[in-house]
Amino acid sequence: MTLRAYVISRILLTIPMIFILLTMVFVVIRILPGDPVLAHFEKNVDPALVEEMRVKLGLDKPLWAQYFDYVFGVFRGDLGKSMYDYSPVAEQIFSAFPATLELAISSMIIAALVGIFLGVQASKRYNKPVDHTIRIFGIVTYAIPVFLLGMILQLVFGVGLRWLPVGLRMNPMLAAPQGLTIGALHFSTGLYTIDSLLEGNMFKFVESLRYLFLPSLTLGTVLSGVFIRLTRTNMFETMRLDFVTAARARGLRETTVTYRYALRNAFLPVLTMIGLQFAALLAGAVLTETTFSWPGLGTYVVDRINFRDYTAIQGAVVVFGILVSIVSLVVDLLYAYLDPRIRL
Amino acid sequence: MIIVTSSPDVDTTLTLCCHVHSGSDKLVLQFVTRFCQRLKSYIENARIHIPTVKGMKNIKAISRMLIVGIIIVIIVVAGVVGYYLTIPTTPAMKDTLVMGTTDSIETCLDTARAYDFFGLAIVGSLSSGLVDYKPGATGSVDDIIPALATSWASSADGLQWTFTLRQGVMFDDDTEFNATHVKYSIDRGISINDPDGAFGGVGYGDLIENVTVVDKYTVRFYLRTPFSPFLSLMAFQVSFIVDPRYAPFDAVVEYDSSRTPRQNHAMGLGPYRLANWTRVAGRETEIRLEANTKYWNASGGLPETKNIIIKFYSDATNLASAIRSKQVDVAFRQLEAVDIQNMMTDDNLKVWAGTGAFIQYLCFQERYAPFNVTAIRQAVGAAINRTTIVQTVFLGQAQKLYSMIPIGMSGHTDAFLTLGDPNYTKTRELLAPLGYNETHKLAFTLWYESSGHYPQSEDLALALKSSIEGSNVITVSLGNADWASYKTKRRNAEMEAYIYGWYPDYVDPDDYIYPFIHSSGGGWLNTNYSNPEMDTLIEWARGNTSTATRNSLYTQIQSLMVTDSPIISLYQGSAFAVTDPKVKGVYLDITQVWRYWLVYIEQ
């Protein structure tokens, strides 16, 4: 199979996957107990008002009609209206997305850096105390609940040492960074680190980094366990290959041999894992965001579950699902590009 | 300020001139020093180890490295300079107070729809009512003080209430306040009758027949029926005045991120202006309040603090960390009981405890067995150990409640104490004639809400189960449902016994009686309890203006409640706020009003 044929087949496979996801989310949400419209009201209300709300939310239609409305809506970018506050769900998710993206990117950077570095160190000292320590660290961080680690870090660095803030995205005394404004043009990413730079406000930039650090460290540390184990195993095998011996024989320094020669070869599966961990990252983000009051998609989902806001939960699950599908598609394609054996 | 000069000569010397300003400069200095050391070591290694043939390539590499290094240093220096240039000028401590909460505005800042604790607290700081409760109020009519009305009078039959308005009061947009605004505000709320709002929920339309403008500064309310808590109702934030320029008569002012903060609320007569209201994904991230210089009581020195910044935390644990780490000056609603207990011994914090108006109670479904029998309801009521509930479940941060009317409120009596606390002998005596004993136990399912809508729901249910089973003649199994399902089950009368909770609308015993045990007002609770004698007593009490007569009627009502036992009160929550010790002006009274305008930080 050529690369092009592989790409096409992989994309075609993603489409039914998304359809199945949409259908499952639709069905699961509707078989949950509790009437979402009645749940909205505290006391008994006029049945006419309840009916009016059903019509407003499209719940008066038969299930199949609701399903088609919903699927076509998703393809138009319309995820319905919140049953809680009647706002468009797509707009709400869009407003929460930058916070989650910022957290995801910084966590992945920390996870990859910590994981790869410790994995390499463990493989270099195979079966030595350092290796054992790193392995234990890897297992503990992999197993520890993200909210527990978050709370420990909050207690140590926030409450105890008071070096870092325990929650939120920005210093309460400062307004959120607005991005770049030139005349009537306004450009903003929603990522506070980038927006503060665009605004040219270094103080806000440093503050946004301070507020970003603990949640990223929490999520990054939990995810780093996978990278430690993967890097360690791959590096251990790679370091025993002939080309590494040859590089050493040429008199190259050990650091050069390790990072420039061996790690480059051992890195491919790690790179793939970075993509595959994206789903875990989003799941972890839900709890990390709640622990650190980070106003992203995770906090949104938890809030909406509490309010039994069906359309919002449905929308968030669909967005998460589509994101994971896209990332796994990109990873598969990258992998196929880098390793021709996949296409066989 | 850090200046770095470098010269790639034979000796590769790097000169560093630094003047250390602060910790962050030190970090930069360390970074630059390490970079230079690495660079130097690289150059030296290259000179020693690399064969001469590759010399030229290495010189190129070194040059590249130097260029990159210089660029990095320039960026770092620019960053540090930028940092110092953009440090905001810190406002005086007294001027700004940061508050943290786990609450949020459930709907909007419009009296026509807002019906949640936090939303109404903000409404109360953006507007004023005709009357108000003085700080430390107990709910008595004597605690009601003038606000936008300077005086008031009611007709002998209690059907007319006339208010004389304060003159020279300005909205924040410079419109002068007058009687038409009062009429507009009430008529609008009744007319919109939003299904989520309090105008419908409390039944303003059923109470108020008409609002008439007598003259520019006099307004008269005509009631359909005598309603003694009317002044309390006027002190309720839902009755506060809206600004017609921002509040259309036929539509609710909803949040819209594209509009200015001023356009996002309907108010305008309060101690504060809304400077910022940010919502991300339907949940608040920040609210900023700025002192309203046109506030009618600005001459009285209010508000005490010019700027209030409210930040929103996702849970009680994070809020507790925030106040402990001094990220916020005030933490109010909701903190865990165990955190509050620990904070009480923390010298760096001050815990403010006050009367809570939140109560929880046990409802019985009377449509079917076993609770269609009064003796069984009384028997269960007699087996409740409130001491365990208060001490074990709430760590002493609640009060045992023997009436639906809370402690500290006019008319309260410890009525249910006559059943015992617990009195297992009475339980056995009541159940024995019905054939229930140690070998043939009464069995029922006790339901509780499981998704965190009420505090410590599961613990409360377990404590109740243990307490009731202590009688040795009753077996309790537990059932639970998330809030949405719980409400559906209540509507469908599916639960035989279930725990519910209540925050008051207006501060009056009527608000703790009428919505629960009046056959009409209590319909929403769906216990299917109905007693015409009780209905008559309640209607008399809400129509009578004499405090003594009302108290007498409420004593009879509470006594009849024990006899019928349709609902058994369990506990009354206490209100807690935790602040920096320098924070003053916190009043936690039974009105449950958080008075932003009185809170300040002592210099």
Contact status, residue A145 vs residue A258, Cβ threshold 8 Å: no
- Chain A residues whose CB is inside 8 A of the B196 CB are 40-41
**Nearest Cα residue in chain B from A92:** B281
- Average pLDDT value for residue range A145-160: 94
Identity at B534, one-letter amino acid code: M
Q: Shortest CB distance from B88 goes to which of A174, A200, A296?
A: A174
Record: contact A306-B283, CB cut-off 8 A? no
**For residue B113, pLDDT beyond 60:** yes
- Chain B residues whose CB is inside 8 A of the A213 CB are none
pLDDT digits (tens, 9 = 90+) for B210-231: 999 999 999 999 999 889 899 9
Q: How confident is the model at residue A209 (pLDDT cuts 50, 70, 90)?
A: very high
Question: d(Cα B566, Cα A172) in Å, to the nearest integer?
Answer: 48
- Chain B residues whose CB is inside 8 A of the A304 CB are 282
Q: Shortest CB distance from B282 goes to which of A85, A151, A200?
A: A85
> Residue A60's pLDDT is what?
81
Q: In A, residues 276-295, which contact B (CB 8 Å cutoff)? A: 289-295
pLDDT digits (tens, 9 = 90+) for A254-270: 888 888 888 888 877 78
Q: How far is CA B457 from CA B281, B500, B575, in A?
A: 28, 10, 17
Q: What ipTM, to 2 d.p.?
A: 0.85
Residue A300 touches chain B, beta carbons under 8 Å = yes
- Average pLDDT value for residue range B175-197: 94
Chain mean pLDDT for chain A = 85
**For residue B124, pLDDT beyond 90:** yes
Q: Shortest CB distance from B314 goes to which of A43, A93, A299?
A: A299
- Average pLDDT value for residue range B572-597: 92
> Residue A45's pLDDT is what?
62
**For residue A160, pLDDT beyond 70:** yes
> Residue B461's pLDDT is what?
95
- Average pLDDT value for residue range A23-47: 72
Angstroms from A135 CA to nearest CA on chain B:
30
Best mutation target among A43, A54, A193, A300 (most B Cβ atoms within 10 Å) is A43
Q: Helices B532-543 and B547-564 sit at what angle, rounded to 10 degrees?
A: 160
pLDDT digits (tens, 9 = 90+) for B66-107: 888 888 888 888 888 888 877 776 555 569 999 999 988 888
**Nearest Cα residue in chain B from A174:** B88
- Chain B residues whose CB is inside 8 A of the A200 CB are 82, 86
- Chain A residues whose CB is inside 8 A of the B318 CB are 154, 166-167, 290-293
The CA dihedral of A242, A247, A248, A251, to the nearest 10 degrees, is: 150
> Residue B47's pLDDT is what?
53
Which helix (DSSP H) or strand (DSSP E) does residue A314 occupy?
helix A310-338
Q: How confident is the model at residue B15 (pLDDT cuts 50, 70, 90)?
A: very low
> Residue B7's pLDDT is what?
45
Nearest C-alpha neighbor of A107 from the set A287, A300, A299, A272: A287
The CA dihedral of B377, B380, B381, B384, to the nearest 10 degrees, is: -170
The residue among B55 and B370 whose pLDDT is bigger is B370
Contact status, residue B2 vs residue B25, Cβ threshold 8 Å: yes
Q: How confident is the model at residue B8 (pLDDT cuts 50, 70, 90)?
A: very low
**For residue A301, pLDDT beyond 70:** yes
Record: contact B257-A95, CB cut-off 8 A? yes
Q: What tokens appear for B63 in the block?
A: 């040059």
Best mutation target among B487, B578, B601 (most A Cβ atoms within 10 Å) is B487
**For residue B541, pLDDT beyond 50:** yes
> Residue B44's pLDDT is what?
65
Contact status, residue A87 vs residue A78, Cβ threshold 8 Å: no
Q: In A, residues 190-229, which contact B (CB 8 Å cutoff)? A: 200-206
pLDDT digits (tens, 9 = 90+) for B429-476: 999 999 999 999 999 999 998 877 787 889 999 999 999 999 999 999
Q: Shortest CB distance from B321 goes to which of A158, A205, A306?
A: A158
Strand residues in B107-217 grouped as ranges (E): 131-133, 144-146, 149-154, 160-165, 208-215
Which among B44-48, B200-204, B533-537, B571-575 has the top mean pLDDT? B533-537
**For residue B25, pLDDT beyond 90:** no
Instruction: Please name the residues in contact with A157: beta carbons below 8 A apart, sequence gap of 6 or more.
Output: A163, A164, A214
- Average pLDDT value for residue range B564-583: 94
Angstroms from A107 CA to nearest CA on chain B:
20
Residue A231 touches chain B, beta carbons under 8 Å = no
**For residue B1, pLDDT beyond 50:** no
**For residue B51, pLDDT beyond 80:** no
Which among A252-256, B215-219, B297-301, B338-342 has the top mean pLDDT? B215-219
Angstroms from A147 CA to nearest CA on chain B:
11
Which helix (DSSP H) or strand (DSSP E) does residue B280 occupy?
strand B272-280
Record: contact B483-A33, CB cut-off 8 A? no
pTM of the model: 0.83
**For residue B19, pLDDT beyond 80:** no
> For residue A264, with 0-12 CB atoms within 10 Å meaning exposed, 13-18 middle and 19 or more buried, which class applies?
exposed
**For residue A156, pLDDT beyond 60:** yes
- Average pLDDT value for residue range A7-34: 82
Q: Shortest CB distance from B280 goes to which of A53, A159, A295?
A: A295
Record: contact A162-B326, CB cut-off 8 A? yes
Record: contact B280-A95, CB cut-off 8 A? yes
The residue among B61 and B267 whose pLDDT is bigger is B267
Record: contact B314-A291, CB cut-off 8 A? yes
Question: d(Cα B468, Cα B258) in Å, to the nearest integer?
Answer: 55
Record: contact A166-B87, CB cut-off 8 A? no
**For residue B18, pLDDT beyond 50:** no
Question: How do beta strands B330-332 and B96-101 pair?
Answer: parallel
The residue among B352 and A184 whose pLDDT is bigger is B352
- Residue pairs between chains A and B whose CB atoms are closer than 8 Å: 166
- Average pLDDT value for residue range A167-173: 92
Record: contact A291-B311, CB cut-off 8 A? no
- Average pLDDT value for residue range B34-57: 63
- Average pLDDT value for residue range B253-282: 92
- Chain A residues whose CB is inside 8 A of the B321 CB are 151, 154-155, 158-159, 166-167
For B398, phi and psi rounded to 5 degrees? -155, 170
- Chain B residues whose CB is inside 8 A of the A45 CB are 195, 200
> Residue B325's pLDDT is what?
94
Record: contact A53-B195, CB cut-off 8 A? yes
pLDDT digits (tens, 9 = 90+) for B377-435: 999 999 999 999 999 998 888 999 999 999 888 889 999 999 988 999 999 999 999 99
Record: contact B281-A202, CB cut-off 8 A? no
> Residue A222's pLDDT is what?
92
Cα B587 off chain centre by: 14
Contact status, residue B63 vs residue B295, Cβ threshold 8 Å: no
Which among A244-248, B33-37, B160-164, B353-357 has the top mean pLDDT? B160-164
> For residue A223, with 0-12 CB atoms within 10 Å meaning exposed, 13-18 middle and 19 or more buried, which class applies?
buried
- Chain B residues whose CB is inside 8 A of the A46 CB are 195
Residue A42 touches chain B, beta carbons under 8 Å = yes
> Residue B90's pLDDT is what?
58
> Residue B91's pLDDT is what?
53
- Chain B residues whose CB is inside 8 A of the A296 CB are 281
Identity at A59, one-letter amino acid code: L
**For residue B24, pLDDT beyond 80:** no
- Chain A residues whose CB is inside 8 A of the B83 CB are 202-203, 205-206
The residue among B366 and A75 whose pLDDT is bigger is B366
Q: How confident is the model at residue B530 (pLDDT cuts 50, 70, 90)?
A: very high
**For residue B53, pLDDT beyond 60:** no
% of chain B exceeding 70 in pLDDT? 91
Angstroms from B574 CA to nearest CA on chain A:
23
**For residue B39, pLDDT beyond 50:** yes
CB atoms near residue A75 (< 10 Å)? 9
Contact status, residue A203 vs residue B88, Cβ threshold 8 Å: yes
